[in-house]
Amino acid sequence: MTEKVLEIRDLHVTFDTPSGPLEAVRGVDLDVSSGELLGVVGESGSGKSVTFLATMGLLPARARVTGSVILAGEQLIGASAKQLRSVRGRLLSMIFQDPLSALNPVHRIGDQISEMLRSHQNLSARDAEKRAIELLDIVGIPQPGDRARQYPHEFSGGMRQRVVIAIAIANNPKVLIADEPTTALDVTVQAQILEVIERVQERFGTAVVLITHDLGVIARVADRVNVMYAGRNVEQGTIDSLFDHPSHPYTRGLLASLPRPGKQRLKPITGFPPNMLNPPSGCAFHTRCEFAADICKEDLPDLVSFGDLETACVRARELPKSESFS
C-alpha cells in the first residue's frame, strides 16, 4: 500500500531571465505513495507547478534542473528525450487547467485517445478504438460510442476535462499529476471532475498529485497535503493533522485568512509574496511572519518531524498551538 512511486529529492529549478537567475524551486523533497491522493497547495509563484513540470521533463531547455526525481525506480533528471517519451503517458501523466489547449482541435476525440494507447501498447486500431470508448465511459461521458467520433469543440469545458483525464489514464499510469484541473470550471462541474479523479484513483490505484490553490478542494479529496511557499516545501502531513493543528506560520496564516460561516473578521497574511529574483534570506516567509525572530533571517529551515506533521520552521516547537480548522 505505502510503496513509494515517486521520490523527489533536493530539486532545484533555475530560469535565466533578463534580470538575472530566478530560482523557482529551491530544494524540494517530496514522496508520492502508490494509490494516494496528494494535494499540493501554494499561491502563485510558489513553485508548485514548476516542480511537477520538471518532474515530467516538460520545462524549456533554458531551465536548469538539478536534484533527483525517481519514478518507479527510474531516474528522470538527466534522462534522454527518448527515455522521457517512454515514461510520459505510460508511467506518468499530467493534466492541466485548460483542457481545450490540451486537445487537438482537428482530430476526433476517440482517435486522440487511441493515439495515446497505441504509442505505448501494441494494440490494433480496432482494439484501441474499443478501449477508447471504454475509457470515455469510465470518466462518465454519456453515449461514449457516439462522442468518440466528435471533435473537441463539440464538448463543454467539463466534458473536455473528462476527455483529457481519459487520455491521461489510458495506459494506466502509476502517477497522475493534475495541475489546477478544476480552476477554470464552474463549481457544480468542479464537483463532477473531482469525483471522476477520485473514482480513477480508487479503481486503478493510480497515485494522484493534485496541484491547487484551493484549500477546500484539498479538504474534500486529498489524503495528504504539501504546502509550498517561495519554492520550498514548508509543511506536509495528512489532511486531518494539517487542518487540526497546522504548525507552520504560513499554513496557519492561509487557513486563518479563509472566510468561514459565522466568522466576523478575516485575518489576512500581511505583506505580499516575495520576488523570487531576490528572495528573502533564511526562511523566505520571515518577512510576513508574525512569529519571526532573528534566527529566521539566517537559517533556511528544512522539514523536521513535528507531531504528525513535518514542518520547515525553526521556531515550530516554541510557538503557541494553533487554533483548529476542522
Partner 1 sequence: MSEDLLNVTNLVKNFDLRVNNGARRKKRIVQAVTNVSFSVGKGQTLGLVGESGSGKTTVGRCILRLIEPTSGTVEFEGQDLGSLKFEELRALRRKMQIVFQDPFASLDPKMTVGSSISEPLIVQNVPGDHADKVIELLELVGLSADHAQRFPHEFSGGQRQRIGVARALALNPALIILDEPVSALDVSIQAGVINLFEDLQSRLGMSYIFIAHDLSVVRHIADRVAVMYLGKIVEIGEQQAVYEHPTHPYTKALLSAVPLPDPKTERSRHRIMLEGDVPSPVNPPSGCRFRTRCWKAQDVCAQEEPMLTVRPSGQMSACHFPES
Q: Between 104 and 326, name the residue whose CB sits nearer to partner 1.
A: 326
Strand duo 224-229 + 232-238: pairing: antiparallel
Residues 289/250, Cβ–Cβ less than 8 Å: yes
**Pick from 3, 10, 146, 195: which binds partner 1 (CB under 8 A)?**
195
CA–CA separation, 24 and 49 (whole Å)? 10
Kindly tell me which residue out of 30, 197, 217, 303 binds partner 1, with binding defined by CB under 8 A: 217
SS3 72: coil
CB of 182 to partner 1, least distance (A): 9
Closest contact distance (angstroms) between CB of 92 and partner 1 is: 26
Q: What CA–CA distances, in Å, run from 113 to 41, 94, 192, 261?
A: 30, 14, 21, 43
**Residue in 35, 47, 99, 158 binding partner 1, rule: CB under 8 A:** 158
Q: Which of 186, 202, 299, 323 binds partner 1 (CB under 8 A)?
A: 186
Asked if 282 and 234 count as a contact pair (C-beta separation under 8 A), the reply is no
Contact 208, 33 (CB under 8 A): no
Distances (CA, A) of 190 to 183, 222, 235: 8, 15, 26
CB of 240 to partner 1, least distance (A): 6
Stretches 11-19, 52-60, 83-91, 157-165: which one binds partner 1 (CB under 8 A)?
A: 157-165
SS3 219: helix
Interface characters, 264-303, with partner 1 (x: CB under 8 A)? -xxxxxx-xx------------------------------
Site for partner 1 in 121-150 (CB under 8 A): none
Minimum distance from CB of 67 to partner 1 (Å)?
26
Interface residue with partner 1 among 17, 75, 101, 156 (CB under 8 A) is 156
> How close are the terminal C-alpha atoms of the chain, in Å?
27
CB of 298 to partner 1, least distance (A): 24
Give the burial string for 196-232 (b: 16+ CB within 10 Å, else e): bbeebbeeeebbbbbbbbbbebbbebbbbbbbbbbbb
Q: Which helix (H) or strand (E) holds 282?
A: none
In DSSP notation, 224-263 reads: EEEEEETTEEEEEEEHHHHHHS--SHHHHHHHHHS--TT-
Q: Which of 218, 289, 312, 314 binds partner 1 (CB under 8 A)?
A: 218
Considering the complex, state which of residue 55 and residue 233 has its C-beta at the smaller distance from partner 1. Answer: 233
The residue among 317, 322, 314 whose CA lies nearest residue 298 is 314
Q: Is 215 in the site for partner 1 (CB under 8 A)?
A: yes
By beta-carbon proximity to partner 1, the closer residue of 31 and 43 is 43
* Shortest distance, position 157 Cβ to partner 1, whole Å: 8
Q: How far apart are CA 155 and CA 225, in angstroms?
A: 32
Q: Restricting to residues 43-82, name those near partner 1 by CB under 8 A.
A: 43-44
Contact with partner 1 (CB under 8 A) among 11, 38, 194, 209: 194
Residue numbers 239-268 binding partner 1 by CB under 8 A = 239-240, 243, 253-255, 257-261, 263, 265-268
Residues at the contact surface with partner 1, assessed by CB under 8 A: 43-44, 156-159, 186-192, 194-195, 213-220, 239-240, 243, 253-255, 257-261, 263, 265-270, 272-273, 325-326
